[in-house]
Structure 1
Amino acid sequence: MNITKENVDALNAIVKVDIVAEDYQDKVTKVLNDYRKTATIPGFRKGHVPMGMVKKQYGKAVMIDEVNKLLQESLNKFLVEEKLDILGNPLPKVNDEFSWDAEQFSFEFELGLAPEFNVDLNAETVKQYNIVATEELIEKEVENIQTRYGKLISLEAGEEQASITGTFVNEEKGIDKKATFAIAELNGDANRGMFIGAKVGDVVTLASKELFEDAHKLQNVLGVSHDEAHDLDVEVQLTVEEINKTEKAELDQELFDKLFADGSVKNVTELKEKIKEDAEKQFQQQADQQLLNAVTESLVANTSFDLPKEFLQKWLQTAGEKELTAEEAVAEYEKSEKGLRYQLIEGKIMKDNDIKIDYAELVEYAKGFIKAQMAQFGNMNPEEKELDDIAGRILSNQEEARRLQEQLVSQKLVSFFKDNMTFDTKEVSYEDFIKEVYNVDANQ
C-alpha cells in the first residue's frame, strides 16, 4: 500500500491511496474460509462446500468490504500520523474509470486544510460591564421579601395598598376572566380611585386602554393575547369578589432565620449585604456572557484568514442527514462561516495557552451545578455520594455532557480573556446594563 499527499494550495490537498492485492488478500481468504465453515448450500455437508463455489458466491463482495475497511483505516492513520489539521471530512474524488474487477486500486480524497493564523487579543478594546446592585434595587428586594413572608388580611373596603380579586367580563370580546391585581398597579388616579372604598359585590366599569402601567399586566388579567393587549380599547365590568391587604413581615430574627437557616444574618444591614452579594453574583453571570459575546465578535472581526470555501461548500452537501443542493450548501456555508471562524480561533487560543478540560474537572463542575439546583429546593448539604451518583448519570448522557463541557470551556475562556485582554470597563446598574446591551427596559 502507498499513501501520498499533494498540496493543491495552502488550504487544499489531495491524498492518494494505492492498494494492491497483497494488502487485502489474506483478510479476504480468512473471511471466505470462515464462510466455508458455516455456509449451508444444498448438496454439500456443512463445512465441505468447495472453496471455488464460496469464492464465486461471496468473493467479490468480501473483497470490496475488506478493501473499504483497509482504505478507511489507512486513511485515518495517515491523517493522524501526518498531524494534518483538516476541516470537515475527506471527500472521495469520483473516478469514472474505476473498476472493482482490477486487482489493485487507486483512491483519491480531497482535503480541506485548516488555515494558519495568529490571534491578537488586543486588536481592539472591548467593553466590559461591572453590574452593581443599587440601593434602590436592594430596598425593593427587602420590601419584596417582607411582602412575600407577610400576612394576608381581608378588608371590608378598598384602600391604596389593597389588592382586588374579581372577574372581568366583556361579552363582545369573549372576556370572562378571574384575576388579582394591586390597586397601585392601575394607571391613573381616576382608575385607582374607583376602588378606594369599594366593597365585595360592587361592579366597577373600566376602560381597558392604558388600564395598567404595564400592558403585559392587562394581557394576564384579561386573558387576551399579547398583540390584543397593546391595542385593546373596550369597556370591561369587574365584579369585586375579594379585597385583601398584605401586612408586611417584620425585619426581625425570625424572618432572617427563615431566609438564612445558617444564622448568617442577624440584622437589616447584614440582610442588605446578602441581597447585594447574591444579586451581583447573578449579574456577574450575565456580564460574563455579554463579555464572551463581545470578545467573540471582536476576535472574528480582527483575525483574518482564508478558508477552503469551495471544499467546505461541497462537503456540506453530504455532511448532514439530508443531502443539500449546491445552492443550499452555499447558503448553509454563509450562515455557518462566522461560527466556524470562531471555532478555529477558540481552538488555537486553547491549544496555544494549554487551556483544556479533563474528566475530573467536568465531574466537579457538574456537581457544583447540581448543588446549586438542590439548594433552590432547600437541600443545602447533600451527601458527596449522592452528588457523585447524580453527576455520573448526567454525564452518561452525551448531550448533557456536551452542554456542561461547553459551559465549562466558556467559563475558562472568560477567565483567560479577563487576564490577558485590555477592557474598557463600565460600572452600571442592572437596569442600565439591560437597556444598553439589549435595548430593552428591564422593568418590562
Structure 2
Amino acid sequence: MKIKTNKINSANAQIEAQIPKETIDANVEKIAKNLTKTASVQGFRKGKVPVAVVKKQYGERLVQDAEAEALREVLNRGLDELKVTMDALIGEPNISNFVKNADSIEVTVKVAMRPEINLDNYKDMVESFEKPAITDEQVTERLEKIADAQGKFVDLKRKRAAKKGDSAIIDFEGSIDGELFEGGAAKEFALVLGSGQFIPGFEDQVIGMKIAEEKVVKVTFPESYGSDKLAGKDAEFKVTLHNIQEKAKVEIDDAFAEKILAGQDDKSLDNLKNQIKAQLENEALAKLYNEDLKPALLETFVTKFDFDLPEFVVEQEIDVSLNKKASTMSEDEIKELREDAAKLESLRETFREDAQRSVKATFIIDALATAESVKVDENEVMQTIYYEAMQMGQDPRMAYDKYKEAGYLPAIQMSMVEDKVLTQILNSKIKEA
C-alpha cells in the first residue's frame, strides 16, 4: 500500500493512498474466516460454515467491511507519518476522493487538528479600567422606584380628572364596524394609565376623564396584533369611568428599609442605600462589559492571535451563514443558485471572512477557558435556561427540551463560557478606587 502525506499547516493535513486489490481481497478473506465462527446459515452448524458459503451469503457487505478496514489502516499509517495522534483530531476524517480502479483504490483523506494557540502575555493585551461611578442621585432615584412599587392604590381624597400613573376603574365594550368582538369587553377593570397594558392610544384617551364620565375611545389595532381578526383594524370602545385611584406615597425611612431588608441583620436605611449602590454598580459594569469591553476585548484577541484554522470548521460556518441567507431568498433566487455553480460559490465566498473570524474567536475562547480554568457544565446550562424561561412565564422543562431537540445546547454552553472567561479576565483589570 502506497501512502503519501502532506501536512498543509498546523491545523490541516492530507493523506493520499493507493490501496491494491490484493489488500482488499486479503481483508475479505480474513473477515470471512472470522464470520465462519459466528455466522448462522441454514443447513450448517454454527462455527462450521464454509468460507465460500459465507462469501456468497454476505457478498457486497464483506467488500464494504474490507474497504473500511483498509481505510482505517490508511488513516492510522498516515497519522503515524504525520506524527499526529488520534486525540489531536477534531471532527471526522473527510474522504474527499475515493476512486475504484480494476487493480486498486485511490483515496484521499483530509484531517483537521485542534489549532495550537500561543497565549503568552494575553493578559497584557487587556487595559486596566475604572469601575463606573454611581452618584447619590442615582441611588435616590432607584430608592424612589422601589418605594413607588411598594405603594398601594387608594381612592382620591379630592376628586379630579384621571392622570398618568392613576388606576382607572372602567367598564369598556369594543366593536369593529358596529360589531362587538370576543374579548373586547370588561366590567370594573383596573387600568393603570401609562402602563402600556392596552393597545396604543387607549390609555391616552382615558387620561383627562372624570368619575362617572362616558366616552368613546377610538383606536387602531397594531398590524402585529396577536389576533388576525383584529390586527390592523379600527375599533371603538365605549368606556365608563367608575373610579380613580392614586398611589399612596411611601415614606423612605428606616421603617421602609426594615420591610425591604427583612431577614437581614442590618435593616437600616444606610445599609439599603449601600446595597442599592452596589447593585447599580454591578448593573453599570455589566452594561459596560456587554456593550463595550467584551466585544472590544474579543476583537483584540482575534486580531492579535495568529494561528491556522481547520478548513472543514470554516466551511461548516459558511454553510450556516449560507442557509440563513437562503431562508430569506425567493424560490426563483434559490433555483438560480442551484443552476449556477459559479454564482453559488461566489455567494459562499462573501461569508468566508466572517466565518473565519467566528471560528477563530471560538478556538480562542476555548483556549482562554482552559488557561483561566473556566468551565460550564450541563447542569449550569439547564439552570440558566430554567431561570430565563421562568422570567418569561414559560414552562422551564419544555423550554430546555426544545433547545435540546433543536441542538442549541452546545451553542448556549459556548456562549456562557465566553461570557464567564471574558468577565473573569476583565475583572482582574479593574482599578481599585
Aligning the two structures, in what range does the TM-score lie when normalised by the shorter sequence?
0.5 to 0.7
CA distance in 2 between counterparts of 1:127 and 1:259 reads: 36
Q: Would you say how many aligned residue pairs link Structure 1 and Structure 2?
A: 377
2:356 paired with 1:340: yes
CA distance in 1 between counterparts of 2:312 and 2:383 reads: 42
**Paired letter, 2:15:** V
Listed one character per residue, the Cα deviations across residues 326-359 of structure 1 (whole Å, up to 9, x for unaligned) are 555653553364243243255357648962547x
2:419 paired with 1:410: yes
2:16 paired with 1:16: yes
2:271 paired with 1:270: yes
2:170 paired with 1:166: yes
CA distance in 1 between counterparts of 2:247 and 2:59 reads: 86
1:193–1:170 distance in 2 versus 1, CA, 3 Å: closer
**Paired letter, 1:165:** I
**Residues 247-396 of structure 1: pairs in structure 2 closer than 5 A:** 247-253=248-254, 255-290=256-291, 291-300=293-302, 326=341, 327-328=343-344, 331-332=347-348, 334-335=350-351, 337-345=353-361, 347-348=363-364, 351=367, 355=371, 357=373, 361-362=375-376, 366=380
**Residues 167-182 of structure 1: pairs in structure 2 closer than 5 A:** 167-168=171-172, 171-172=175-176, 176=184, 180-182=190-192
2:158 paired with 1:144: no
Q: C-alpha displacement at 1:15, in angstroms?
A: 1.4
CA distance in 2 between counterparts of 1:318 and 1:245 reads: 54
**Paired letter, 1:340:** Q
**Paired letter, 1:295:** L
**Paired letter, 1:202:** E
Structure with bigger RCO (C-alpha 8 Å, 6+ apart): 1
1:125–1:41 distance in 2 versus 1, CA, 3 Å: closer
CA distance in 2 between counterparts of 1:93 and 1:274 reads: 61
- Decide whether the 8 Å contact of 1:91 with 1:315 is kept in 2: no
Q: C-alpha displacement at 1:149, in angstroms?
A: 2.3
Q: C-alpha displacement at 1:71, in angstroms?
A: 1.9
1:260–1:26 distance in 2 versus 1, CA, 3 Å: farther
Q: C-alpha displacement at 1:143, in angstroms?
A: 2.4
Q: SS at 1:283's partner residue? A: helix
Q: 2:208 maps to what in 1?
A: 194
Q: C-alpha displacement at 1:60, in angstroms?
A: 4.6
**Paired letter, 1:293:** P
1:293–1:251 distance in 2 versus 1, CA, 3 Å: same
**Residues 105-120 of structure 1: pairs in structure 2 closer than 5 A:** 105-110=105-110
CA distance in 1 between counterparts of 2:319 and 2:96 reads: 14
1:20–1:315 distance in 2 versus 1, CA, 3 Å: farther
1:414–1:193 distance in 2 versus 1, CA, 3 Å: closer
**Residues 404-443 of structure 1: pairs in structure 2 closer than 5 A:** 404-416=413-425
1:362–1:15 distance in 2 versus 1, CA, 3 Å: same
Q: 1:435 maps to what in 2?
A: none
1:88–1:23 distance in 2 versus 1, CA, 3 Å: same
**Paired letter, 2:376:** L
Q: 1:58 maps to what in 2?
A: 58
Q: C-alpha displacement at 1:203, in angstroms?
A: 0.9
CA distance in 1 between counterparts of 2:358 and 2:8 reads: 25
Q: 1:204 maps to what in 2?
A: 215
1:304–1:236 distance in 2 versus 1, CA, 3 Å: farther
Q: CA RMSD in A?
A: 5.6
Listed one character per residue, the Cα deviations across residues 90-143 of structure 1 (whole Å, up to 9, x for unaligned) are 5434355x24x64x5442234678999989979999998955545454333322
Listed one character per residue, the Cα deviations across residues 227-256 of structure 1 (whole Å, up to 9, x for unaligned) are 99xx99987643114422222344455543
1:19–1:11 distance in 2 versus 1, CA, 3 Å: same
CA distance in 1 between counterparts of 2:369 and 2:149 reads: 49
Q: C-alpha displacement at 1:39, in angstroms?
A: 3.8
CA distance in 2 between counterparts of 1:252 and 1:182 reads: 26
1:264–1:315 distance in 2 versus 1, CA, 3 Å: closer
Q: 1:428 maps to what in 2?
A: none
Q: 1:5 maps to what in 2?
A: 5
1:316–1:37 distance in 2 versus 1, CA, 3 Å: farther
CA distance in 2 between counterparts of 1:139 and 1:319 reads: 47
Q: SS at 2:107's partner residue? A: strand
CA distance in 1 between counterparts of 2:192 and 2:319 reads: 58
**Paired letter, 1:347:** F
- Decide whether the 8 Å contact of 2:317 with 2:355 is kept in 1: no
**Paired letter, 1:270:** N
Q: SS at 2:262's partner residue? A: coil
CA distance in 1 between counterparts of 2:264 and 2:8 reads: 71
Listed one character per residue, the Cα deviations across residues 423-444 of structure 1 (whole Å, up to 9, x for unaligned) are 9x9xxxxxxxxxxxxxxxxxxx
Q: Percent identity?
A: 20
1:63–1:368 distance in 2 versus 1, CA, 3 Å: closer
CA distance in 1 between counterparts of 2:244 and 2:286 reads: 40
1:53–1:363 distance in 2 versus 1, CA, 3 Å: closer
CA distance in 2 between counterparts of 1:18 and 1:314 reads: 29
Q: C-alpha displacement at 1:61, in angstroms?
A: 2.3
1:15–1:139 distance in 2 versus 1, CA, 3 Å: same
TM-score with structure 2 setting the length: 0.61
Q: 1:380 maps to what in 2?
A: none
